[in-house]
C-alpha cells in the first residue's frame, strides 16, 4: 500500500486495516487532522454507538457499526473512498476492500482512534477506544460549503 501522490506510505496500522491507497488528488481547504481530532476528543462528544470492549466479537461489531454509520453519514463515497491520517501528511485518500477491518488500525490500549473523513471534508466518522468501550463518533463540519 503506497500513497502515489506524496510518495510516502500511509501509517503502518492502516495497512493492517486492509485499506487501499488511492492516487487521486486531495481536495483543497480540508479541515486539518488536528481539527478533526479535537472534534472527536472533545469532552462534550456523545457517541452514536458503543460496544463494550469485553463483549464477545466486540471488534467485529465495532467494525460493523462504524461502517453502518460511516455510510449513513456519507463519509464513504460511491467508490468506497474516504480520507484517513497518513504517515507524514495530513490526509490520505483510501478505498475500502474486501479485507477492510478499521479496528485493525487501532493501536493497543485505551485512547486509540481512527478518524475517517469524507473526501469533501464535510463529515467524519471515527472509531475510538474509550476506557471499556469502542465508540462510534460522527460529526458534520457546519462551516464547510455544500
Q: What is the mean pLDDT of each run of 10 residues along the chain (146 residues)?
A: 40 79 80 92 94 96 97 95 81 91 83 91 95 94 68
Q: What is the pLDDT of residue 69?
A: 97
Give me the domain span that covers residue 130: 12-140
Residue 36 falls inside a structural domain: yes
How confident is the model at residue 11, as a pLDDT? Answer: 61
pLDDT of 3 reads 34
- Residue 145, domain member (yes or no): no
| Secondary structure (3-state) at 15 | helix
Tell me the C-alpha distance between 106 and 80, whole Å: 20
- In a domain, residue 6? The reply is no
d(CA 114, CA 81): 15
Taking Cα atoms as reference points, which of 1, 13, 10, 11 lies closest to residue 107?
13
* CA–CA separation, 89 and 107 (whole Å): 19
Q: What is the pTM of this model?
A: 0.86
Amino acid at each position: 500500500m503506497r500513497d502515489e501522490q506524496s510518495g510516502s506510505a500511509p501509517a503502518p496500522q492502516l495497512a493492517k486495516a486492509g485499506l487501499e491507497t488511492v492516487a487521486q488528488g486531495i481536495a483543497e481547504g480540508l479541515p486539518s487532522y488536528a481539527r478533526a481530532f479535537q472534534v472527536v476528543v472533545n469532552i462534550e462528544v456523545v457517541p452514536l454507538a458503543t460496544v463494550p470492549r469485553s463483549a464477545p466479537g466486540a471488534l467485529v461489531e465495532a467494525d460493523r457499526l462504524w461502517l453502518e454509520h460511516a455510510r449513513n453519514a456519507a463519509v464513504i463515497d460511491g467508490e468506497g473512498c474516504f480520507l484517513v491520517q497518513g504517515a507524514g501528511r495530513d490526509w490520505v485518500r483510501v478505498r475500502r476492500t474486501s479485507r477492510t477491518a478499521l479496528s485493525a488500525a487501532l493501536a493497543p490500549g485505551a485512547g486509540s482512534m481512527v478518524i475517517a473523513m469524507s473526501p469533501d471534508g464535510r463529515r467524519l466518522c471515527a472509531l475510538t477506544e474509550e476506557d471499556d468501550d469502542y465508540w462510534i463518533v460522527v460529526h458534520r463540519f457546519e462551516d464547510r460549503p455544500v
